[in-house]
Amino acid sequence: MAGLDRRKLVAVAVLLVLACALPFVIGNYRVFQATLVLAYAIALLGLNMLTGYNGQISLGHGAFYAIGAYTAAILMDKLGLPYWATIPISGAVCFVVGFLFGLPALRLEGLYLALATFALGVAMPQILKHEGLAHWTGGSQGVVIVKPDAPEWTGLSQDQWLYFFTLAWVVVFFVVAWNLLRGRIGRAMVAIRDQPIAAQAMGVNTSLVKSLTFGVSALYTGAAGALGAIAVQFVAPDSFNIFLSLTLLIGVVIGGLASISGAFFGAIFIQFIPNIADQISKAAPWAIYGIVLIAFMYMMPTGIAGFLRLARARLARRARP
């Protein structure tokens, strides 16, 4: 396992410094958007583990995003937990739910799994509205979350603080993912994707690895949901409809399947392209979105990350005589 080479390490460090400087040069509203991008990036990374690395298509990850968001909201609103404590709990809850959902669902292959997860995504808003849960979930009215203040010594605004809080989690999640995906487990995941029978023959416990992948993927998405909910300060069933699940999948594919950095590109895409589409046409924003989507897929079939990798390789080849 070769570690990061020095050039990459420098690049990551520079990016991190830029990320830290960002909230001081843009307004609070933009900081808020950047926070959402970071939260989406974590969610996309989670989905990418499942879809990109492990080859399982999920059309229902919005459901885990919702569970994470609601877990955080309920913990803060009903149990009075501090916001920072809700992230690991949301992640853990989603891990368990994802693992349990994964056990039976993973007997389903390919498209059938996609449909099963799709059903979960479709059902989630209705489950959240269910009368039996209304005491906790607030029914269709949702739950309002109090926005956390920055600790006084920092002198930051609420939005800046939340940005750094989210950024810290991004670092944690990406370092863990990087280690996971580069190691034994990551290789097993990819092997299952490419050659399931060969992987099994090599002694990989396919069903366990698949279930675990599903669980970890849900954990990431759930934690992202919690971070997103704290930034938005509100959760409601209408926030987590099936389009969220589809949007997440779009983000993964546009960013680049089986690519860690792709999560950021995908997150930027799903955060900003709808706004741009709305500015181009009020009559058919989704048509514009669709056109952009097709254009991206046509020009960069391996996603933005794949495109950049290709471009870099080509440049390097040209530089060498």
Partner 1 sequence: MNPTLIRIGRRAALALALGAAFAAQNAAAQAAKYGPGASATEIKLGQTMPYSGPASAYGTIGKVQQAYFKMINDNGGINGRKINLISLDDGYSPPKTVEQVRRLVEQDEVLALFQTLGTPSNSAIHKYVNAKKVPHLLLATGATKWGDPQNNPWTMGFNLSYQSEGQIYAKWLLKNKPDAKIAILYQNDDYGKDVLKGVKDGLGAAAAKMIVKEATYEVTDPTIDSQILTLQGSGADTFIDITTPKFGAQAVRKAFDSGWKPLHILNNVSASIGSVLIPAGVEKAVGAMTVSYYKDQNDPQWKDDPAMLEWRAFMGRYYREGDPKDQSNLYGYLVAQVMTQILKQCGNDLTRENVMKQAANLKHFKLPLLLPGMELNTGPSDFFPVQQAQLQKFTGTQWQLFGELMSTDAR
Binding site for partner 1 (CB under 8 A): 27-30, 32-33, 36, 126, 129-131, 139-142, 144, 228, 232-234, 236-239, 241, 243-244, 274-275, 277-278, 282-283, 285-286, 289
Length of the chain: 321
Minimum Å distance from CB 114 to partner 1?
A: 22
Closer by beta carbon to partner 1, 126 or else 151? 126
Distance separating alpha carbons of residues 231 and 273, to the nearest angstrom = 20
Minimum Å distance from CB 276 to partner 1?
A: 11
Distance separating alpha carbons of residues 234 and 146, to the nearest angstrom = 9
Closer by beta carbon to partner 1, 123 or else 315? 123
Distance separating alpha carbons of residues 74 and 15, to the nearest angstrom = 34
Minimum Å distance from CB 316 to partner 1?
A: 39
Give 111: exposed, middle or buried? Use CB within 10 Å, 0-12, 13-18, 19+: exposed
Two tokens, residue 223: 């934690």
For 233, list phi and psi in degrees, rounded to 5: 70, 20
- On whether the CB atoms of residues 12 and 171 are closer than 8 A, the answer is no
Closer by beta carbon to partner 1, 139 or else 148? 139
Closer by beta carbon to partner 1, 206 or else 241? 241
Minimum Å distance from CB 36 to partner 1?
A: 7
Minimum Å distance from CB 206 to partner 1?
A: 36
Closer by beta carbon to partner 1, 10 or else 123? 123
Two tokens, residue 251: 């983000």
